[in-house]
Amino acid sequence: MNGLAEKLNFSIIIAKTTTRLLSVKVANLSIPAVRLFKAVLSKALRALFFFSMDDSFSSEDDDHLFDLDYHPYARKRPLSSRLDRDEHDETDDEETNRQKLYLVPYRWWKETQRSVADQIGGILYTVLSNDNYADSQIVLELRKEESSGDRVKAEEGVSGRAYALVNEALWLQTLKWHNDSKASENDARNHIVAEDQSQEVFLLQIRLSFSPETNSLLVKISLKDNTVNLYQRACCIFSSESELLQIWDFSGQTSQFVMNEIINLPNISSGKPGKETLLELHVNGFFVTTTETNERSAELSRTENSLGKSQVKTNGSSDNLSLMLTDASPSGSGYRGIGLLGLTGLQNLGNTCFMNSAIQCLVHTPQLVDYFLGDYQKDINYKNPLGMNGELALAFGELLRKLWAPGAVPVAPRMFKCKLAKFAPQFSGYNQHDSQEFLAFLLDGLHEDLNRVKCKPYIEAKDAEGCPDEEVADEYWRNHLARNDSIIVDVCQGQYRSTLVCPVCKKVSVTFDPFMYVTLPLPSTTMRTMTLTVFSTDGIMLPTPFTIAVPKCGRLKDLIDTLSVACSLRNDETLLVAEIYKNQIFRLLDEPSDSLALIRDDDKLVAYRLPKVSETYPLVVFLHQQVERSYSFGVVASNWKPFGVPLVARIQDLSSGSEIRNQFLKLLCPFLMPVEDVVNDYDGNETGNTVNENSKMEDIVSPLVSDSDVGSDSGAENDFRLNTDFKFYLINKLEPLEIKMNKPVSISRFTKKFDVSVHWSEKMMEKYDTCLLSSLPEVFKPQLFTRRPQESISLNKCLEGFLQEEPLGPDDMWYCPRCKKPRQANKKLDLWRLPEILVIHLKRFSYNRFFKNKLETFVDFPIHDLNLSNYISHIDSQLSNCYQLYAISNHYGGMGGGHYTAFVDHGHSRWFEFDDDKVFAVSEDRIKSSAAYVLFYRRVREA
């Protein structure tokens, strides 16, 4: 004890006696002294402590708990205060607040390629075993090797009875490495992990105390604290009849326990052992099915019923002593399954499949698994106002470790959901949500909780105009890292180059922005089909509907340009687009920058072909009205009712109402009903046919009679007839004003547009095909009861669409620094810096204030060879641009309801589907489907 005490700086102990109390319970220890003890050991130990022991004492008069919340390197608050429990959390979730110690075979521990044992200082203990079979108890005395020191490195060639004491994080890291290593070896031989290489962990109750007289630790393993089966296993491991037993402590917990006892000097006197603490030790080892172990199992089975006070016979084989038994553990005493590592499902708490899907993709991200199984707590930023005081990161780390623990049952992520809801309140409750939206908030929350930058510096943006893009991009990235530095940034964040061009002054602005994921629009999300009816004003062509494809977020200019090509618009013509509602022009779409998103599918649009030379003339809108008769109590009532699509024209000369009439008749020419038997009735009788032809053509020619023919008899007759068949009224605010044929129209010369109401007689209704005026298709009419063919597109096409230049929307204007005005600039994004983990979000859902939609487009994405070299603007020769798919978040169903699952590559192209708490293997050819929603790629080195 004196040797250990001399190593302490007691002046520091005195200085630390006034420090704040710990929020942990320690058995008979001075809390300020424990605070000091943690500070001292933080310089000596380099291990991660995120494990639990059963914290109870055999002493009835002392209910304090042994402090196992110690972490020598992470400056953190006690675990119990970080992970406050909710009232609805179940008892099994309390395990997340505890810490676990694992006893593993040392050779197995050393096999890992990560050489964890060589990196972390260990303390070597020689173990003397005193088997007191009369009392059914094993007493182990752990004496520290004086030559080992506090940071002795583990040596090679240790005995077969050497074990390592590690914490849960280091155990999981090593276990995962062995799991991956075995999977790699077996994959080369094309068979799965063998059953005889499975692994088991069982819980052993031990009593730990410190002996000041011998300066050693005492461990008691008794039958009364354990079941017969577990006690037998302990006898196999710690039997005194075998060669010398050694235990390497890489957890730092034995040193901590000794230090606590030494600091608590008043409670320990020479010859009086310290108080015993009942702890739970997780014993871990390999089973190999051999004849020898089967015989050993049979021998122990025979002695099981007669154990009691009798002596347990064991042999001294060093081979057997390092192996666990092959028989199945009793329920609750242990678990097997190295081959099942990382294949644990998540319970659905109620519409939480979106969360489960995204979590499974994240917890199988290699870099994040290694990070959260390691010493991630040292990076927790408790003072970040944008974070959750580390609570979200700790909850995620706990959840990840549960999912990677072998033999675990499906986990209920209640605590994690509670912590997430505090960071993002929209995820509280049990409503349906979007997995990509959840993923974005989770990554952002983890970044803020793990941001290594404790005080973010203010960095003023500099004018980089004229500088090379490489220099500007590097400066932007350095500025970003100066304020944001976390595992999320290291792994998941890349960099865009964003280019804006002012459409007026051509000012170019280039910025470099970070991104966490890439959202790729599908072709159906970028384009929409629209049907418009084109009306000609030349008196020749009938109205013709045209269906065109335009950008969904495009402008009216895009629609006019596309429609001009579709209808073969001449150079001397222009299009005037209008929305028709209740037989009137509801609005004119005459602003080229208007957004097409304002046009709904059930709108009715027309486009009038007008000559360019008339653009300065007043626009006349002809509104059609017909007589509607109603009968009520034997009385006939007549009133005028609008019908058809308005016709428009531009008229220069308004000195006479006849100009308006003539222009209207010209517009109606294409709607004249065909003359029957004009040619077919010709039978060789020239005179008779001529008479019939003249009489029938009279009605066709007469509407086109001009004012110059008024002086003739026929002209006067036609003019009189037309005046009686059509009536024209100028619509004003007071009352309609009839337009006289030979008198000027009473409008202001500054008027740019006016409406004219045209009253149709019954005779004219028969003469013209008014059905062509009344039938107008909608912009888009969905086909009911018809299944659209499955759309298919490659991921490369989606990338090309994402990188195309497009105009900003009217609600997203850019303030041009040169024009000093908001401008609807053209924007182009380029990939500049790619992350280690590339998350690709396929934009299947579209929303606006009128409707929601989901696209079932099948996206053909590569699995093994996604090469982005052709899509990145800046090539870094030191980094690969090749990626491999390892996880997919899927969405099945539509907008009203759906379900999320996940596909995960468990290594070596072994794919599994995670459907909440159900996990099962799937073949690689099944993972491509139209349900793929979020794709997870990892960077691979080019061959």
Tell me the sheet residues that pair with 672.
768
Cα dihedral 825, 831, 836, 840 sign:
positive
In the numeric block, which tokens belong to residue 143?
Answer: 């004496």
Look at residue 295 and tell me whether its pLDDT is greater than 50.
no
What is the pLDDT confidence band of residue 102, given thresholds at 50, 70 and 90?
confident
Look at residue 362 and tell me whether its pLDDT is greater than 80.
yes
The predicted-structure confidence for 461-491, as pLDDT tens digits, reads as follows: 777 677 888 999 999 999 999 999 999 999 9
The predicted-structure confidence for 139-154, as pLDDT tens digits, reads as follows: 888 888 765 444 444 4
What is the pLDDT confidence band of residue 187, given thresholds at 50, 70 and 90?
low
pLDDT reported for residue 71: 32
pLDDT reported for residue 783: 59
User: Torsion angle of alpha carbons 72, 75, 77, 79, nearest 10°?
Assistant: -50
Burial of 190 (0-12, 13-18, 19+ CB in 10 A): exposed
**Longest Cα pair distance anywhere in the chain, in angstroms?**
146
The predicted-structure confidence for 553-590, as pLDDT tens digits, reads as follows: 788 998 999 999 999 999 999 999 999 999 999 999 98
What is the pLDDT confidence band of residue 246, given thresholds at 50, 70 and 90?
confident
C-alpha closest to that of 252 among 401, 151, 350: 151
CA angle 273, 283, 183 (to 5 degrees): 155
- Alpha helix ranges (H) inside 711-753: 713-725
pLDDT reported for residue 99: 65
Contacts of 402 (CB under 8 A, 6+ apart): 96, 344, 408, 411
Most confident of 602-611, 635-644, 694-703, 769-778: 602-611
* Amino acid code (one letter) for 872: I
- Alpha helix ranges (H) inside 309-365: 318-321, 353-362
pLDDT reported for residue 134: 65
Q: For each of the domains in the chain, give its residue range(s) and CATH number, in order of start.
A: 100-144+162-171+202-236 (no CATH), 352-449 (no CATH), 494-523+791-939 (3.90.70.10), 527-672+722-774 (3.10.20.90)
Q: What percent of the chain has pLDDT over 70?
A: 69
In the numeric block, which tokens belong to residue 49?
Answer: 């402590």
Q: Give the range among 263-267, 290-294, 739-743 with minimum mean pLDDT.
A: 290-294
CB 492, CB 837: distance < 8 Å: yes
What is the pLDDT confidence band of residue 46, given thresholds at 50, 70 and 90?
very low
Is-above-0.85 flag for pTM? no
In the numeric block, which tokens belong to residue 32?
Answer: 């300020």
What is the pLDDT confidence band of residue 625, given thresholds at 50, 70 and 90?
very high
Most confident of 107-111, 775-779, 936-940: 936-940
The predicted-structure confidence for 395-407, as pLDDT tens digits, reads as follows: 999 999 999 887 6
- The catalytic residues are 353, 899
Phi, then psi, of 32 in degrees rounded to 5: -60, -35
